Homo-oligomer: A and B are copies of this chain.
Amino acid sequence: MRQDSHRFLVAYDIPDDRRRSHMAIALKRFGLRVQYSVFMVDCSPSHVLVLQRELEDIMDRDQDSVLVSDLGLSKTADARAMTWLGHSRYIVGDGTMIV
Contact = CB atoms under 8 A, between A and B. Distances in A.
Contacts of A85: 52, 55-56, 59, 61, 64-68
Chain copies in complex: 2
Contacts of A81: 69-72
Q: Which 8 A-B residue pairs are closest in the complex by CB-CB distance?
A: A66-B85, A13-B35, A68-B83, A64-B86, A70-B81, A61-B86, A11-B38, A65-B86
Contacts of A60: 86
Contacts of A34: 65, 67
Interface string A1-31: 0000000010111000000000000000000
Contacts of A59: 85-86
